[in-house]
Amino acid sequence: MLHEALSGRRLTRLEYEHALPVLQDELLDAQFELRKSRPRAVAVIVTGIPGAGRSEVVNELLGWLDPKFVTVYGFREPNEVERERPPLWRYWRVMPPKGRIAILHAGWYQDFLGASVREPGRAPVVVRREVERIRNLERMLVADGVAVVKLHLHVGPELQRRRLRRHFADKTTRWRVTAEDHWYARHYQRVERALEHCLAVTHQPCAPWQVIDGTDREHRALEVGRALLAGIQGSLGSRPARPDLPPAAQLSRRAARVRLPATHPGARVAEEDYDRRLEELQGRLALLSRRRRFAKHSVVVVFEGMDAAGKGGAIRRITAALDARQYRVVPISAPTPEELARPYLWRFWFQLPPRGNYTIFDRSWYGRVLVERVHRLAARADWQRAYAEINEFERELTEHRTIVAKFWMSVSPAEQLARFRERDRNPLKRFKVDPQDWRNRRQWRSYQQAAREMIALTDTRHAPWVIVPSDDKRHARLAVLRALCERIESVID
């Protein structure tokens, strides 16, 4: 039992009075250095048995630190907006930038712990998936420069009951004791077993749990402060292990099997046929988007491809079939300073659609394994781990009934050059070609190799790639609309 394992020497009053000011000074100095150099962000997760002093600990931390650069978040049952998105969405929204500290009451453990306590007989496959989701999240955060400080405060059952009775008896503190706290106290052993299991399966070297005895207020304060200091200084936990990629020879074979044809085998689409088929497919998409079953889902559409491959044209043909209130088009360019200060997937989590809506990404999170890889804007270890992180991200979307449709628009070098030149000649389109496009063209072979490996490693059953030959613009636009309709139908029918 957790409460039986808590032991250790307590400080005397004199020792505490000496140690506390030293720790406070160290925390302020470390926070100042964190703000100055911004090497990392700090996310503090505080869980605990009711009566162990979670709120008191947070208040003490705010008294020791500069509160302007610390944000505290509490989470209740998901509201209507939060239920429309995947479970982790509301935690990604509050992810702190580098240089700042966020304190999250229970954080992403709240839903897992609540379900584990209330529903101890849950299916093992469901529990394993929730654990896997949490562990993957924390590994990614640590790898992207977020120190994850996980604190669990614990007390024994007798002390818990005395504290709850004392708080409830005092009119000024009665509000702090909820019906849930009473329920947890009556079912102490059941709650403790759930906590023990949670701590055991989510403890990992990069994000270890710190179990702190809440019996003595002074001891508790020092232990929490020391754990936070280690997190701010980057000495708590270790770097996550590098991801397991297929051996180079195997990856090369898998990538070689990926074909990126720029032309389709049939004849070019005639204008009169194009107009008729376009109208049919847009009508099909419009009807799908108005079906009752569709309202239980959302759609994320991803477009990737070389410059001038026809991404924008395909997107306009999709949006022409939709109600303007039903979609958002998100063009992705180089990250802003605000985005660079957070994990790279943060800006994409922010754009996820609610039920019954579309978000269409003109370029996407795949930039990490394409442009950032080719131009060496990301370290090799970072873009290599991104494949697994992207697969996990897309899996979480589909688990929440988000339909993911991914298109690689494949154009030939000759056709790209012709389109660049045509744009240069047209004053209304000249803005579409800039020096970066020409630099990317010089890296053609590197981009193609990166795209093949990307597709080989991220083409999954829940989020498959569709490769669209795009030298014929009309055929490409029709192919995208048809594939998108088929993808939606495969889920909602």
**CA atoms within a 13 Å half-sphere pointing along the CA-CB vector of 312:** 6
Q: Is 178 helix (H, G, I), strand (E, B) or coil?
A: coil
Q: Is 234 helix (H, G, I), strand (E, B) or coil?
A: coil
Which residue's structure tokens are 């490769």?
467
Order the strands of the 101-105 sheet from edge to edge: 70-73, 101-105, 41-48, 146-154, 209-213
pLDDT average, residue stretch 267-272: 91
Per-residue pLDDT for 430 more than 80?
Answer: no
Mean pLDDT over each residue of the chain, to the nearest integer: 93
71-110 burial, b at 16+ Cβ within 10 Å, e below that, comes to: ebbebeeeeeebebbbbbbbbbeebbbbbbbbbbbbbbbb
Quick one: pLDDT at residue 1? 63
pLDDT average, residue stretch 210-238: 92
Per-residue pLDDT for 9 more than 70?
Answer: no
Quick one: pLDDT at residue 429? 79
User: 409 near 314, Cβ under 8 Å?
Assistant: yes
Quick one: pLDDT at residue 440? 87
| Interatomic CA distance for residues 266 and 276, integer angstroms | 18
Quick one: pLDDT at residue 469? 97
Percent of the chain with pLDDT over 70: 98
pLDDT class of 249 with cuts at 50, 70, 90: confident
pLDDT average, residue stretch 417-437: 85
Cα separation values, 391 from 11, 256, 286, Å: 48, 21, 29
Going by their DSSP bridges, the two strands 70-73 and 101-105 should be labelled as: parallel
Order the strands of the 465-469 sheet from edge to edge: 327-331, 358-362, 298-305, 402-410, 465-469
Q: What would the DSSP string read from start to end of 311-353?
A: HHHHHHHHHTTS-GGGEEEEE--SPPHHHHTS-TTHHHHTT--
User: 420 near 306, Cβ under 8 Å?
Assistant: no
Q: Among residues 106, 84, 26, which one has the least CA distance to residue 94?
A: 106
Which residue's structure tokens are 């992180």?
389
pLDDT class of 261 with cuts at 50, 70, 90: very high
Quick one: pLDDT at residue 247? 83
Q: List, in order, residues 6 or more apart from 408 with CB less than 8 Å away.
A: 260, 304, 305, 451, 455, 465, 466, 467, 468
Quick one: pLDDT at residue 3? 63
Domains in the chain, CATH or no CATH each: 2-233 (3.40.50.300), 248-492 (3.40.50.300)
Per-residue pLDDT for 5 more than 70?
Answer: no
Residue 49 in tokens: 């048995």
Helices 157-169 and 188-202: angle between axes, nearest 10 degrees:
120
First to last CA, the chain: 49
User: 105 near 73, Cβ under 8 Å?
Assistant: yes
| Interatomic CA distance for residues 231 and 46, integer angstroms | 14
User: 394 near 86, Cβ under 8 Å?
Assistant: no
In terms of pLDDT, which residue wins out, 76 or 8?
76
User: 76 near 135, Cβ under 8 Å?
Assistant: no
Q: What would the DSSP string read from start to end of 418-432?
A: HHHHHHHH-TTTGGG
Quick one: pLDDT at residue 181? 87
